[in-house]
Amino acid sequence: MKILSVNLWFDKYGHKTLAQLKSFAHFGYETYAATIIAENQMLKCVIYRAEYPNADSAAGNTYTLTEETSQTLEKEPFGTAYFGAFRYLFDYASDNDFDIVYMRRLMSKIAYVGPHFKHLAGKCSIVYEIPTFPFDVPSNKLYALRDRLEMFVYRRCKKHISVTSCCLYQHGKPDPDWLLFENGIDISNYTVHKVPPLDSDTSVINMLMIANMQSWHRSERILYAMKDYTGTHKLHLTVASPESDEYTSMQKLAADIGVSGMIDFNGFLQISEINRIAENCHIAVGQLSGSEYGVMETHAIKHKDYCGLGLPMFSTCTDTSFPADYPYYRFLKDTDADINLDEIIKWYEQIRKEHPGYRSEMYSHARANLQYDGYVSEILKRLRERK
């Protein structure tokens, strides 16, 4: 049995694809990952073989990612080279007897895939994942048009898709046959570090924020919270986020309000680098979207990252990945209010007193509850039912 996972944003979300593929490997699949990389005037299609010597989800982080094959195409007007790029990937899956082609949301590029779906469906099962539904708040009219185009093409191709899965938030209304899921992680990416020291009331509190900054994420709220902090601790924030217009705006805002000396803007970091940084962190900054955008619920991967890393987190959104009484997820109910770091730090200091082994406890929760095995099991069940 073989699966090919297509992720056009493998450079940013490859760890998610590899975490999913590890679960498929756990169920006995040979696992492959594919992406399309735009380089200057060329498109490069790449297919990797992902091998997990021990697919047991509790095993160490041991996998190899080997380039299996590739093809380079010249870009053409209106992006039409993507027709050929997807045909190359799907022909590879057809010619090499793959059982499943799994596609992470293609956005508007689904327009180049539609003509190929019928051919591919005759050879293998197709799984189409929508990682956020309803879609994120569009930042402009062009993005909104892109979302409508994707759904327009999707509806016309749906008959060829075996399973559509979606990560639901904002009380959206998915199709009744969609498989709802929450994002997951691969626990072997994380290490149970010792609890970092906090020797005095003036020690540095190190915070971590993983983000893919967009305006509706309201990441700037943590900067104002740091500015308004009145406690005795020193504060330091590490930001791990791909660079974007919002990322640049955050850097400028930090300088304008006088907190830039307390912040390291690191750009995009691989999970292995984040794991190393987290060793000395105390608290994690979760989703900070406000109710003015209607974002009251989340299944953010970063919350699961924080749990695997053993970092108590705070967020202005509910996250059903954690029980309502989970002691290490602080839900800030008044989502439009200023974030009070004085209270959050007191909450963290109480955790250290009452739960000295909190890092191990969080890692164990992530290992037992936050991996992809349950989701992959549901996909395979639905595929069996269709046969």
Residue type, 146: R
Please give the Cα distance from 310 to 189 (Å, whole number): 12
Say what the pLDDT of residue 314 is. Answer: 96
Say what the pLDDT of residue 139 is. Answer: 61
Q: Residue 159, class by beta-carbon neighbours within 10 Å (0-12 exposed, 13-18 middle, 19+ buried)?
A: exposed
Predicted confidence band of residue 27 (pLDDT cuts 50, 70, 90)? very high
Say what the pLDDT of residue 292 is. Answer: 60
Please give the Cα distance from 304 to 326 (Å, whole number): 13
For every residue of 152-198, DSSP letters joined together read: HHHHHHGGG-SEEEEEE-TT----TTSEE----B-GGG---PPPPP-
- pLDDT digits over 44-98, tens only? 999 999 998 865 544 455 689 999 999 999 887 767 899 999 999 999 999 999 9
- Sheet strand arrangement including 329-331: 263-265, 234-240, 204-210, 283-285, 313-315, 329-331
Q: Give the three-state DSSP class for 325.
A: coil
Say what the pLDDT of residue 333 is. Answer: 81
> Average pLDDT, whole number, for the chain?
90
Q: pTM for this structure?
A: 0.85
Number of DSSP helices (H) and strands (E) in the chain, helices first: 11, 14
CA atoms within 13 A on the CB side of 27: 17
% pLDDT > 70, the chain: 93
**What are 101's strand-pairing partners?**
4, 126
Say what the pLDDT of residue 295 is. Answer: 64
- pLDDT digits over 340-370, tens only? 999 999 999 999 999 999 999 999 999 999 9
**What are 211's strand-pairing partners?**
none
Please give the Cα distance from 289 to 210 (Å, whole number): 14
Say what the pLDDT of residue 173 is. Answer: 77
Q: Is the pLDDT of residue 167 over 80?
A: yes
Please give the Cα distance from 19 to 304 (Å, whole number): 12
Domains of the chain: 2-186+371-386 (3.40.50), 188-369 (3.40.50.2000)
Tokens (6 digits) for 329: 């997820």
Of the candidates 150, 117, 104, 128, the one whose C-alpha atom is nearest the C-alpha of residue 8 is 104
- pLDDT digits over 229-272, tens only? 999 999 999 999 999 889 999 999 999 999 999 999 999 998 88
Which position has the higher pLDDT, 220 or 336? 220
Tokens (6 digits) for 185: 């992680």
Please give the Cα distance from 157 to 118 (Å, whole number): 8
